[in-house]
Amino acid sequence: MAMKRLLVIVTLMLSILALPAAALAETLYVKKSGTKLQSEASASSKVVETLASGTAVEVVKKSGRFYQVTAAGGKKGWIFKFKLTAKAPSGGGGGGSLLDALGGQQMAAKESASGSSIRGLSPISEQHAKSKGISKESINAVKAMEEFKVSAQEVDAFLKAGKLGEYAQ
Amino acid sequence: MRAKKLHWTTLAIFILLLGGSRVSQAFDFGGLLEDLAKPKAEPEKQEAPASAPPAEPAKKEQDGGLIGLGESLGLIDKKSGDLLKSGVSTVKAFQPIGYEEEKAIGGSLAVQVFNRFGGPYKNEALTRYVNLVGQAVADVSDRPDIEYHFAILNTEHPNAFATPGGYVFVSVGLLKLLRNEAELAGVLGHEIAHITHKHALKTIQRGQALKGLTSLTLTAMNKDMGLFDKVIDEVSEILFTRGLDKDLEYEADKFGTEYAFRMGYNADGLKNFIKVLGQSHKGESSIFSSTHPSPGDRLGHLAGESGRYKGHVLYPVLTKRYKSETQGRL
């Protein structure tokens, strides 16, 4: 009788241990706005949605360099795994501090918002350069450097041509 | 009775097993954390008290606890106690430098980079190529949500720099030494890692210019240009003459390698470039020789790193694309 009960307990334990990791609802966050949620684990597949920085996603499945996730709103798709972080956005709560202590990635959605609104050489930087007698050419070189842009589409085409990033095989 | 005892023992073993497995599963992000936790160098941990907000309980204990105890026992008089308390809160309460301030500091240093190291190398196609590789690597870094800007310096000395706020520079001399795109990605990854890990900012926070201050705001710097001057003078001396702490350079090497790997490049790019730099007589004229650890030491620290990246040797180095993108432009 006792042995039978023990057997039941052990079976129960083993079945709980064998639960898939996906059942444990792993939450990750989108690192950068414009991240593509795609229909398959392939960069060439259809884009289901583009996600904003800090968006929480639940990991459903892992396949190579892609994670299948469910985004807020219930949309399911695949994301290139290095576009995700374990660190919750600032103020978003959810275990960030513990993950920080473990060496989690350091980024926050809060910075993204301020980052996009702060552009151009700061007036104080220009004032400092002038006070030090630094030539106008050097000041203008920084301004030109800031104005030089490559679009997300150009980067995407570049990766595709080089079989890099989400296009890596 | 014995059977009951056996049940409890089995249950205890199960709880232990379950606990262990749950912890490991909860922290397994498909290698995301594993990838990152490993390259983390010690300085990051050591600097935590300076940059991270203090934990409340610890603050309470230190402010009121030991100093308060010293006061009540008559070991410390009230005035000294107050001074000690304010000292503790000054050290602990220093606010991390914000992005706007970071950008102002980085922008000033970027102007100095152009001023000191040959000015801009004007070739739009080459600049676009460097920006594409740099942006791709920055996109998989730990701080992809700020703007990065990449420029080429018109000097034959093989130099590369990063200044806070997202400014990255490589010299035309360095591009001439590189043999493929994976090496360029590794070099840019190293510079990007200095920005993602805020190495210069952490160094400023520990420096003399900010001694006794609890924060560094743009408002304060606008009011007191002397303060801004002091900060820029101090950090430019470090970046362009003395160099950052060696451990920060090793950390940048590790994360630079990591970022290039994430982008799908052969992870040996940076390592191979450091070897080339060490063998080249041009390396002696590089800012690397005065501001970085020796190539031998850097390679020593990187040894074994690439072993962490499964199958990376099959990843591309893109020699052909590098040659075609740089041919006739260097």
pLDDT tens-digit series, residues B258-292? 999 999 999 999 999 999 998 887 666 677 777 88
Q: With 60 as the cut, is the pLDDT of residue B32 above it?
A: no
CA angle centred on B198, ends B162 and B170, rounded to 5° = 10
User: What are the structural domains of chain A?
Assistant: 18-117 (2.30.30.40), 119-169 (no CATH)
CA–CA separation, B101 and B95 (whole Å): 12
Cβ–Cβ below 8 Å for B6 and A6 = yes
pLDDT of residue A117: 58
Please give the single-letter amino acid code of residue A24: L
Cβ–Cβ below 8 Å for B144 and A62 = no
The residue ranking higher by pLDDT, B18 or B218, is B218
Residue B283, C-beta contacts closer than 8 angstroms, at least 6 positions apart: B158, B277, B289, B295
Contact by Cβ (8 Å): B318, B268: no
The residue ranking higher by pLDDT, A157 or B3, is A157
Interface A–B counts its CB contacts (< 8 A) at: 207
Mean pLDDT of A151-155: 96
Handedness of CA B138, B143, B148, B152 (dihedral sign): negative
Chain B contact probe: residue of A5, A143, A164, A167 with most B CBs at under 10 A: A164
Cα A90 to chain centroid distance, Å, stands at: 14
Judging contacts by C-beta atoms under 8 Å, the chain A residues touching residue B46 are: none
Please give the single-letter amino acid code of residue A82: F
pLDDT band (50, 70, 90) for residue B215: confident
Give the Cβ contact number of residue B213 at 10 Å: 14
Q: Where are the alpha helices (DSSP H) in chain A?
A: 2-17, 96-101, 109-117, 123-131, 136-147, 152-162
List Cα–Cα distances, B220 to A24, A31, B326, in angstroms: 48, 31, 45
The minimum CA-CA distance between B307 and chain A, rounded to whole Å, is 18
pLDDT band (50, 70, 90) for residue A169: confident
Residue A82 sits at the chain B interface (C-beta within 8 Å): yes
Contact by Cβ (8 Å): B153, B137: no
List Cα–Cα distances, B28 to A14, A22, A30, B32, B142, in angstroms: 20, 11, 17, 8, 18
Q: What tens digit of pLDDT does each residue of B44-64 get? A: 333 333 233 333 333 333 333
Residues 83-142 of A with CB under 8 A from B: 83-86, 99, 102-107, 109, 111-112, 114-116, 118-119, 121-122, 124-129, 131, 134-135, 137-139, 141-142
Where are the domains positioned within chain B? 52-92, 99-326
Contact by Cβ (8 Å): B136, A159: yes
pLDDT band (50, 70, 90) for residue B307: confident
Residue B65, C-beta contacts closer than 8 angstroms, at least 6 positions apart: none
Residue of A nearest to B198 (CA): A106
Q: Which two tokens stand for residue A93?
A: 């709560």
pLDDT band (50, 70, 90) for residue B67: very low
Strand extents, DSSP E, B126-226: 149-153, 160-163, 167-171
Judging contacts by C-beta atoms under 8 Å, the chain B residues touching residue A165 are: 136, 139-140, 263-264
Give the Cβ contact number of residue B201 at 10 Å: 23
Contact by Cβ (8 Å): B288, B159: yes
Q: What tens digit of pLDDT does each residue of B104-129 get? A: 999 999 999 999 999 999 999 999 99
Q: How many CA atoms lie within 13 Å of B305's alpha carbon, on the beta-carbon side?
A: 32
